Amino acid sequence: MLKKIMGKLRKAQEWPVYWLRAIILTFSSIANIRLVAMSLRDGISPFGRVHFLITRPDGTIKCNCWHPNLVVTTGKNHIADQLSGKLEAPMSHMAIGTNTTAAIATDTALGTEIDRNALASKTQGTGSDANKVNYVCTWAAGDGTGAITEAGIFNSASAGQMLCRSVFAVKNKESGESMTLTWILTVSA
């Protein structure tokens, strides 16, 4: 519908009158509000999800699940800094913690961090997945043990800027178990 209206606007030389009519017509249907908002917005929207894989000492899988996350304000600022060519440190570490407070946009750290490890890998997708970055981090047996309820991505071994934070139901990692977190960040329009 919006394409039809824009087509009529391009053909007509009376932009102000047709523009006003287009706005009234478009907003006359509640279902079109989302379409209009999406069409008028020109920006990027980063979002992510994190995959947990906890493996027992005998190799059996204890936890294999996905959780959504929040790209926090400092993370969005970091993305903008990278696009502008600022020489800011890239994301390099993942941290886990035990706090259950919901993630909010103004978070700059985990609530109760218990361990932080360097990323095992960081790769950008190709083709239709070129807008995705995969971050992978591992915790060996004896490392990061506890009742884990939060995780985040950072650009430093301590403190640093946080890109994303996820809060979830408890994942109990015992001392003999290993854990791999795979975080997929998608930047879409």
CA gap 126, 138 in Å, rounded: 24
What is the total residue count of the chain?
Answer: 189
pLDDT interval class at 60 (50, 70, 90)? very high
| Least confident residue range of 23-32, 46-55, 132-141 | 23-32
**Quick one: pLDDT band at residue 44, thresholds 50, 70, 90?**
confident
State whether 26 and 73 are in the same domain.
no
Residues 30 and 74 grouped into a single domain: no
Are residues 53 and 35 part of one domain? no
> Domain check: are 90 and 165 in the same one?
yes
According to the model, what pLDDT value does residue 43 have?
Answer: 66
Same domain, 29 and 80: no
**Number of domains the chain is built from:** 2
Q: Which of 97, 105, 90, 96 is nearest to 155 (CA)?
A: 90
- Predicted TM-score (pTM) of the model is 0.76
What is the reported pLDDT for 189?
60
Residues 52 and 25 grouped into a single domain? no
pLDDT band at 24; cut points 50, 70, 90: very low
> Do 137 and 83 fall within a single domain?
yes
Rounded to whole angstroms, the Cα distance separating 189 from 75 reads: 17
Is the same domain home to 68 and 82? yes
Angle at 108 between CA 102 and CA 111, to 5 degrees: 45
Give the residue numbers spanning the domain of 113.
45-188
Q: Indicate whether 13 and 59 sit together in one domain.
A: no
Do 163 and 137 share a domain, yes or no? yes
Residue 26 is predicted with a pLDDT of: 44
Q: Which of 36-40, 56-60, 107-111 has the lowest mean pLDDT?
A: 36-40
Residue 181: predicted pLDDT = 98
